[in-house]
Structure 1
């Protein structure tokens, strides 16, 4: 691969200055156009030590408006980062729509170095590269423009570059023993880099190999490719939006069901086939006296386990989903009552705000992954993409269908990091929901919980049940299985949830 690249290309200072003048104007104009667009630009800079990655990034920031560029460079994980899944710091730093994000020493660095130094097997290397492919595809499917540049130098040229930097009093700090170690391992680096590029250069996230002998040539080449790619992507997104607008116009011309005030007396139509929810035994109950005794015992057990988890740095993520009025809040309160208020956080999620809409839908959940030893409770979660957004038409079919794989990958990363992940679907049947709605109507401190939207959602019971059946089938994995909770009896549901949390924590702590 690198042997076939044209090496030694350069450009004179006069040619460089002549080209830069027009290029800067073009880049600034394109950057302003980008600010109005519905996609971010993710630029990955990688390559041989001394090949000019930093110099090129500095040029990009000089030629464009740096206020609309997010520059990100990574070294060893900080304590804050190491206590979370590895990709947390990359998700945290992703640029919003309309901006560029430049990543130095990005998600490629650790796998590459681990493979060069032999700390992972070839199979493990490929597995890490596959995770990168999934990450980049997730971003690209959401519209992101991903550009990746490998800045290359031959072995002899790299040696010359390092020696030249060492002799420069102002730049000698750039070279350390690690750079020379990498030079000695040049052949291993090139072998690993070729495998990395071949496995991860895809149409939605291609690699460009840029000769780095001449810094002027390298900077111009990268800047031109960025300019051209953004122009093409703007046109592509424009075409896609026009096609989508035509589809929506066609759908709008079709007869609509009256979306006015909900019919509270409308019967719930069951699905004509069995689902994971219809198979649940909803008659299960807990006797009042036994409930009080077991509740105290489970809360005491949870308190002790959560303290041990905190001491040992074991994090816990609890996800609560369920029908309206199913009792998610009541279950969460029975958990938090047993915990030290400093050790947990409850995060309720509704419609995304403007900042959240400017990012991939998983971004707002990634950024809430807690530090080691804490419990994070999600009252509704990333499953909104395949539930409410699917059923209410807020997400296109291609968006919610690919979300199953994105969610499984997200949860695998959480569990692989050592976090305890539990997902609860609290289920009640239509009759029980109606009874609870009626009770909320006449209970002053509960009336705020009941809205017309709840009644309208009830009319779509079959649609939601079908969506729940699909999400359980597609996202209940060995790493992150769903716990379906029979919720007609609140006491039974609370005990089952508490028991499940305690059992999972106990099993996880036994492995620590």
Structure 2
């Protein structure tokens, strides 16, 4: 895989002096065009062997383009906060918005390669991580990002020569640390692992560009031209939408998971109060358990019909929690900042750390509900979202988050009664808007979308709990009981695994 990067590629100094100014001007012009259009972000990954010119290349791009619209993210060992969240959390937070360029010095590839070389990561785990990365990059491209991945290569002899040259110069000697000299001993292991990683992740959506790092002029012109050509091509040829999921089909007898719910279930006031006190106390105890606080986090997702009682259920849950350890995130229309990022970005921001709780009042399922029904996104976008959402929740679960999802369902008649009650009650008027009435006119469309969502995203790791919510007392207790049972099951599994 690296043969072409060991040929001794070289650019004459006079050729470089002629080509570089023109290339620099072209890069600057196209950078401003990308910035003006704000149609897509540019994500540049800079990886490779020590001494191959990674840092010099990043500095060059800063000098050739406007640095005000470039961000560089250098990732070392994860911090304690980062370790308490899913692996990809810190990379999601660093993604550049549309119109900007983000350079990743070290990236989501660095840790898997390092841990595979050291033996901390096995082949099966590496394969799983690389599949996860491929899906992540495919999602970025489908969301419009231009992803460019550079691997800078040096042969073993070229690396030794390069490091010796850097060490001999007082101005560059600081770049050659003891850690870099130590890594020279694992050169062949790096080549073997990197070759495998690059082969598996060299996809049509995000291919690798391997660049020989021996000659500075060759490396600089190569990288500059690749970035220029890719940005020009992306501006002139937007990503074409392609089908990425099977089309939706519906049962011919018109039966559905929500249509079959028994909405007549109810709970008397005395029994409700008794069970409320019981489950709130139980939940408070579970969230303080050392096995929970040291190993798990809790992600609660609330979706449902308008006026189905999501807020009331959330308040009963929050009453049992320490206010310092939970966050309620109400989801409305995305802000301008959020629209400039992939749609899952604003949810990754709120992923809780170990021992904490995040409650989403509405969630990432808006892509396959309101955005689908109202036509706020293309059909191919919400169709592929099912798989992307399942992958997102799988990553949360892998890192110890317990994802508990609720759909609260009421009848159309009960919704109408609650709407009218809200209009007539002073302290509830804020809960009813013209949009609620407009959404009610699309009751059947939202019901169809919700049933499709449940069918495609109720997985073994993050199943949907369907809550019959015509009776608020019944719904609130079912929600509390479900959360308690989910935490108890996880703690029991943890205890069994420790035996």
Q: Could you tell me the TM-score, scaled by structure 1's length?
A: 0.91
Matched, 1:474 2:473: no
Query: Take 1:497 and 1:181, find their aligned partners in 2: how far apart are those partners?
Result: 55
Q: 2:278 aligns with which of 297, 303, 309?
A: 297
Aligned to 2:31: 31
After superposition, give the CA deviation of every residue in 1:80-102 in whole Å (9 maximum; x if it has no partner): 21111111111100000001110
Does the CA contact (< 8 Å) of 2:406 and 2:466 recur in 1?
Answer: yes
The CA deviation at 1:7 is 2.1
Partner residue in 1 for 2:58: 57
- Look up the match of 1:439: 421
What does residue 273 of structure 1 align with?
Answer: 254
Deviates more, 1:100-109 or 1:18-27: 18-27
Contact persistence 1:271–1:462 (CA under 8 A): no
Note the C-alpha offset of 1:121.
Answer: 2.2
CA distance in 2, matches of 1:64, 1:166: 29
- Give SS of 2:98's match: coil
Equivalent pairs counted in the alignment come to: 484
Q: How far off its partner does 1:30 sit?
A: 0.6
> CA distance change for structure 1 residues 48 and 157 in 2, over 3 Å: closer, same or farther?
same
- Measured after TM superposition, the shift of residue 344 of structure 1 is 0.8
Match of 1:374 among 330, 333, 356: 356
Residue 184 (structure 1) aligns with: 185
Aligned-pair distance for 1:161? 1.6
In the alignment, does 2:25 pair up with 1:44? no
Match of 1:86 in 2: 87
Contact 2:166 2:172 in 1 (8 A): yes
> In the aligned structure 2, how far is the partner of 1:290 from the partner of 1:408?
37
| 1:496 corresponding residue in structure 2 | 478
Q: Which runs of 5+ in 2 are unaligned?
A: 243-250
| Alpha-carbon distance in structure 2 between the residues aligned to 1:357 and 1:67 | 21
What is the CA deviation profile of residues 223-251 of structure 1, one whole-angstrom value per residue up to 9, with x for unaligned ones?
111001000000012x869x9xxxxxxxx
Aligned pairs (5 A) from 1:141-180:
141-180=142-181
Aligned to 2:9: 9
Q: Report SS of the residue matched to 1:32.
A: helix
- Cα contact 2:52–2:153 (8 A) shared by 1: yes
- In the other structure, the counterpart of 2:368 is 386
CA contact under 8 A between 2:402 and 2:487: conserved in structure 1?
yes
Please, which runs of 5 or more residues in structure 1 have no aligned partner? 244-269
Deviation at 1:18, TM superposition (A): 2.1
**C-alpha distance in structure 2 between counterparts of 1:454 and 1:301, whole Å:** 35
Equivalence for 1:256: none
Q: Give how far 1:509 is off.
A: 3.0
- How many Å separate the matches in 2 of 1:495 and 1:312? 27
Corresponding residue for residue 302 of structure 2: 320
Matches within 5 A, 1:305-384: 305-308=286-289, 311-312=293-294, 314-384=296-366
- C-alpha deviation, 1:502, in angstroms: 1.2
Residue 130 of structure 1 pairs with residue 111 of structure 2: no
Give TM-score scaled by structure 2 length. 0.94
> Structure 1, residues 398-435: CA drift from partner, whole Å, max 9, x if none?
00000001101111111100011111101111121111
Deviation, 1:283, is: 1.5
Task: Report the 3-state secondary structure (helix = DSSP H, G, I; strand = E; otherwise coil) of the residue aligned with 1:36.
Answer: helix
Following superposition, the deviation at residue 175 of structure 1 comes to 2.3
Taking the aligned partners of 2:452 and 2:177, their CA distance within structure 1 comes to 54
Q: CA deviation at 1:311?
A: 4.0
Post-superposition, which runs of at least 4 consecutive aligned residues in structure 1 deviate over 4 A? none
2:52–2:213 Cα contact (<8 Å) kept: yes
Quote the Cα distance in structure 1 between the aligned partners of 2:199 and 2:387: 23
CA drift of 1:272 comes to: 5.9
Q: Distance in 2 between matches of 1:19 and 1:367?
A: 42
1:456 is aligned to 2:457: no
Q: Which residue of 2 aligns with 1:418?
A: 400
